[in-house]
Structure 1
């Protein structure tokens, strides 16, 4: 059959050829041969044909990442063993952090303040070593250090910067309480100003106000940023006036002998599902006195005479400004979760290329990644890892711009992006970790192959810095505000600009010619993909607004919100997927190496079309995609998975995780089985 005949072959024949190629050595169709030839030349630098793509992913901070990897390679005693108890793990995590800072020359607090992108690159590399170490670094520098630097003023930076940066002042972030987590405005710990002694008195008024899950508190912390309700005496009554939630520096242990401060109670939260290298504790305060200067007073201060001073006129505005400065934690979790996904995908894909199972009669066994079922588990995951990488890079860039400019529009953009991406990426990664474990069969269950620890350690990412469901509701709420603003003639912030046209045309009839187009060129056109994602978001936004208006008349605003909650969560996820795809499309266009760009385009197409297929019911119900087009999308998803399988090993190599950091025997680049059996003593 010549090329012309092959192009005219019935779809059933082409499908059989594709499927047969999964298990037999057949000639690939011409278009597959072309793509495969490109894929085999991702880069031509030396002998590593993933070098160009790897450098494109690593960006400007490859040297910082590799410096951390080399440090742990040169200090094997600091590597976390497979079997380790809670107390030993906690001490090891502290030794690892101290060694990185004091011997390795890493200065995370400086990076966070001066070059945030470098900080997040370092944090991802550190999380590859041990997620517990990554979280401990985040507690010390992003949470404890970040609150002092961002919520305090010059006097706090002068007094605490060096001690935090070199870890002479290990600290905690004491916000969450036993009865209050996501609802920070509901916390009950109090800080009452004593004008006579110029001190704040910190109290835990009841059991529910116990500070809970406080990282660094159980063993290592000497200070805590305590979030409490500021109480000031009223000149006209004996009732204290509640000025809302503020942050205070509270010493919890003596610097000299590490003994617990008077009035402070510390308890150990004990073993957790994961992250047992982090010493989470519970704190109670009984009349603990701190100087007036320990109030972190950037957004509100108490003068010597007991008067309150702030440039922000209301409690709600001060609270919003305070929480706004803490958004870096969400940025870090989104970024770090991508790193976990890269690690898990690398292990699962390398093992799937190595492991052989069954095959045609009287023929050698084939790799399990040659099976379509395995491809459709792992290839969309690989595409998602790349998609998330570029969206997380964009988020970090916007965060850096926010810190530099304090521009209101960028602040709004970062708040929405960080809430949505943190929620979406961490939820996806949590599910992907289980899929990776299952994809590696019984060997995926061995602790040494890391899926168990990765899954357990990462699981809490879905709760850290805001429960994912709550964060998605914030995104939905922001979308509805933008929707209202659009129809009132206001400007949309950057994240939502794509909705301007979509919301104007969502009621128009879909072009029947477009709905039936099913050619590969059309389906792989980023314009079609982006418009499909954005159409779905705009439609969900419009119908959510209508439903909320309808139910508010009978149920009130809270009841209407709850009645439409699942709809709103779907809306938020749809919006975030649109943002992720748009950043992936941008990254493909920006890649200067032609061969690497071809492979990135394959991944981008798979990400887009697999997401469309997963929600094909919505598109069919809206008559946005005709039956023949839906079938063509499904076929193309299968074909793209097959094509990407051919270069999957190179694509995970490009993540740049060396074997001595990956550590899972079945995920190494070579000698996997030898390392595995050596581990148990053969």
Structure 2
């Protein structure tokens, strides 16, 4: 071959092809003439445009559903009680006491009793939680610690004797409690917890001990000031080996009283410290707990998945530590569901404030003419409109998650438990990360006025920031999603059935990967590019391609680096896979919700449909998935 000869690389598109592709993809974003009916958000002069004819009641009813009434009841209660509204300037101590008064007032005066809904009607519980969090995020978190975490652990991990003993006290707030899982050295790695609960067969008690500083329970909500009980997660140790020669039975949950019910003083052996002032959520009294040979009755073991008899024998319907641990965490997934749902609620508040301000605020304009609304500027629309679209999308996706979670609580189906665990991990991670970034964007979009504390952006941003760490670090949770996808991928090729949540991968692995990229090689007409089926196919193609390529990379690197080394080598690829899958789920639920609304309503709400299109377009530049097998 002569040096001057060029070898055509047919694996890469030509410049002409790329140019044509960009031109085609941009056509559907260009506004059409006003006489044409276009289901997109045209570049209107927002502040002066005629208002859309929107059936607000119908849309609100569709969005908020049957629980709208109880949310309105909560808003009415706080509107009638200005003494319970959080002022702009407040000290940590005052904020903590106000937060407690807000919770007591809501439950005892407002007659909102959410505890029974934790198991009976989770959707109603999460609707209450969203409304409460919109009043003050600190109040929402304190509410969640009491009912979802402390109360939920008693209901979900305990048995009838625990519910009978503690239900009323938790419900009416006589038994304020904590959820003591996280330790100084272990947060996400729950199986690595070091706190020990040793059974004493002579006294029929467990002895709770903190063996070292790293095992101190840390960041425990309600612990520093108000908590009277704690659900403590500790390693259950028997004094003698069982028949298999094992004395450590793994992590279990125990009810441990931490303060005297009358004097409110710490009980013997309980050392309580205050975690102090935080970046946000200073209405929540986070504390640290150390246990020094604290004795509790054997009945205080939350024994749904494992128990100890009077003579010190361990019994369980689940054969291994790993299965018991998985069952325990499966019952605690409601906290993750709640965080995803609450994060969307916070995003709704911020986007509403930013969009309303942008419509009213006027700045610059054509020479010798009135100034125009800042939402008329393309840059402001680019900041806020995709965010508004995503807020709608996340609303419907988290609604779907709540529905799946509610179904899981009713059926206890093992497959559904796995689906909800992975889906809640992915949505919690994705939504809270998006909201955290969006809160800063909303503040910036409101200029100097957005910096005023009264406009809430600073409080919302600071209080929400920890949502990215609560209930599992977001990066760790995305890895759980990726691991589950790889398991489904492996099971599919071994003849197993894919779970309901991931069922689209069956079609995608069989069909999509045998065809060219749907964005670059299929029809390019406007109707096709706007077709929801094409758009969803494109999202799912991307996930399938990422899944196939990361599986090949892991297989390659495991031979030389081992499984852990291979996973770390491919980590960014795995995180992209998880995010891609979650985006596919979000889009699917958004399309489904929009289509359902138009089927059930005679009202044509064009901006609502437009948000769906904007959301989808945000990700069109991600479909090339250029991870190499290296």
Normalised TM-score (structure 1): 0.84
CA distance in 1, matches of 2:493, 2:625: 25
Secondary structure in structure 2 of the residue aligned to 1:494: coil
Establish whether residue 488 from structure 1 lines up as the match of residue 465 from structure 2. no
1:514: Cα distance to partner?
7.0
Whole-Å Cα distance in 2 between the matches of residues 444 and 514 of structure 1?
41
- Residue 72 of structure 2, aligned match among 66, 73, 88: 66
Cross-structure match for 1:427 = 433
**Following TM superposition, by how much is the alpha carbon of 1:416 offset from its aligned partner in structure 2, in angstroms?**
1.1
Tell me the residue number matched to 2:389.
Answer: 383
Shift of 1:410: 1.4
Of the structure 1 ranges 562-571 and 484-493, higher mean CA displacement relative to structure 2 is found in 484-493
Distance in 1, Cα, partners of 2:125 & 2:577: 32
Show the 5 A alignment for 1:31-50.
31=37, 49-50=55-56
Contact 1:200 1:292 in 2 (8 A): yes
What residue number does 2:320 align with?
314
- Establish whether residue 600 from structure 1 lines up as the match of residue 608 from structure 2: yes
Matched, 1:206 2:212: yes
Range with greater deviation from structure 2 (587-596 or 440-449): 587-596
**Cα displacement string for residues 62-102 of structure 1 (whole angstroms, at most 9, x for unaligned residues):** 00110000000111110001111100000000000011111
Q: What per-residue deviation string (whole Å, max 9, x for no partner) do you get for residues 531-563 of structure 1?
A: 000000000000010000000000000000000
Alpha-carbon separation, structure 1, partners of 2:350 and 2:288: 32
Decide whether the 8 Å contact of 1:213 with 1:281 is kept in 2.
Answer: yes
| C-alpha distance in 2 between matches for 1:353 and 1:361 | 21
**CA drift at 1:398:** 0.6
CA contact 1:383–1:604 (8 Å) conserved in 2: yes
The equivalent residue for 2:369 is 363
| Partners of 1:252 and 1:308 in 2: CA distance | 26
In 1, the alpha carbon distance for the partners of 2:142 and 2:53 equals: 37
Aligned equivalents of 2:109 and 2:95: distance in 1?
20
For the structure 1 residues 507 and 529, does the alpha-carbon distance in structure 2 shift closer, same or farther, using more than 3 Å as the test? closer
Tell me, yes or no, if the aligned pair for 1:588 and 1:597 is still in contact at 8 Å: no
Structure 2 match to 1:279: 285
1:123-134 matches, within 5 Å, as 123-134=129-140
In the alignment, the residues of structure 1 paired with residue 387 and residue 179 of structure 2 have an alpha-carbon distance, to the nearest angstrom, of: 34
Which residue in 1 is equivalent to 2:620? 612
Q: What SS is found at the alignment partner of 1:191? A: strand
Aligned to 2:233: 227
1: distance between equivalents of 2:468 and 2:561? 30
Which residue number corresponds to residue 91 of structure 1?
97
Q: Which residue of 2 aligns with 1:115?
A: 121
Kept after mapping to 2: 8 A contact 1:233/1:240? no
**CA distances 1:298-343 after superposition (whole Å, capped 9, x unpaired):** 0000000000000000111111111110000000000000000000
Match 2:592 to one of 586, 593, 600: 586
Give 1:405's match in structure 2, choosing from 405, 411, 416.
411
Alpha-carbon offset, residue 108 of structure 1: 1.4
Q: Which residue of 2 aligns with 1:268?
A: 274
1:440-469 Cα offsets, whole Å, 9 max, x none, are 111111111110000000000000000000
Are 1:452 and 2:451 counterparts?
A: no
Change (3 A) 1:267 1:406: same
Q: Is 2:601 the partner of 1:565?
A: no
Contact map agreement 1:61 1:121 (CA 8 A) in 2: yes
Going by fraction, where is helix more abundant, 1 or 2?
Answer: 1
1:159 to 159, 162, 165: 165
Provide Cα deviations, 1:235-261, integer angstroms capped at 9, x if missing partner.
599x98111000000000000110110
Written as runs of structure 1 = structure 2, the 5 A alignment for 1:268-347 is 268-347=274-353
1:489-541 Cα deviation digits (max 9, x unpaired):
11111111111111113442428997263332212110111000000000000
1:363 Cα deviation after fit: 1.3
Moved more, 412-421 or 566-575: 412-421
Runs (5+) with no aligned partner, structure 2? 1-22
Q: Which residue matches 2:255?
A: 249
Aligned residues of 1:41 and 1:595 also touching (Cα < 8 A): no
1:111 Cα deviation after fit: 1.2
Contact 2:361–2:373, Cα closer than 8 Å, also in 1: yes
Higher mean C-alpha displacement, 205-214 vs 485-494: 485-494
Distance (whole Å) between structure 1 residues aligned to residue 91 and residue 162 of structure 2: 37
Deviations for 1:575-609, whole angstroms, at most 9, x for unmatched residues? 00000000001101111224345433211111111
Instruction: Identify the residue that residue 18 of structure 2 maps to in structure 1.
Output: none
Q: Distance in 2 between matches of 1:551 and 1:458?
A: 38
| CA separation of 1:286 and 1:619: change in aligned 2, threshold 3 A | closer
Measure, in 1, the Cα distance between the counterparts of 2:519 and 2:205.
73
Cα deviation 1:613-647 (Å, max 9, x = unaligned): 3x2553899xxxxxxxxxxxxxxxxxxxxxxxxxx
Q: Is the 8 A contact 2:107 2:172 kept in 1?
A: yes
Equivalent pair of 1:42/1:595 in contact (CA under 8 Å):
no
**C-alpha spacing 1:493/1:597, structure 2 compared with 1 (3 Å):** farther
Change (3 A) 1:477 1:33: closer
Contact kept, 8 Å, 1:42 with 1:53, in 2: the verdict is no
2:528 to 514, 522, 526: 522
Q: Secondary structure at the match of 2:206?
A: strand
Alpha-carbon deviations, 1:360-397, whole Å to 9, x = none?
Answer: 11111111100111101000000000000000000001
The runs of at least 4 aligned residues of structure 1 exceeding 3 Å deviation read 31-37, 39-44, 511-514, 594-599, 616-621
Q: What 5-or-longer segments of structure 1 have no aligned partner?
A: 1-10, 22-26, 622-682
The structural deviation recorded for 1:35 is: 7.4
Choose from 51, 55, 76 the match for 2:82: 76
The answer as to whether partners of 2:538 and 2:623 remain within 8 angstroms in 1 is: no
1:577 to 583, 590, 614: 583
Counterpart mapping for 1:501-512 below 5 A: 501-510=507-516
Match of 2:6 in 1: none
Q: Distance in 2 between matches of 1:360 and 1:224?
A: 64
TM-score, scaled relative to structure 2: 0.91
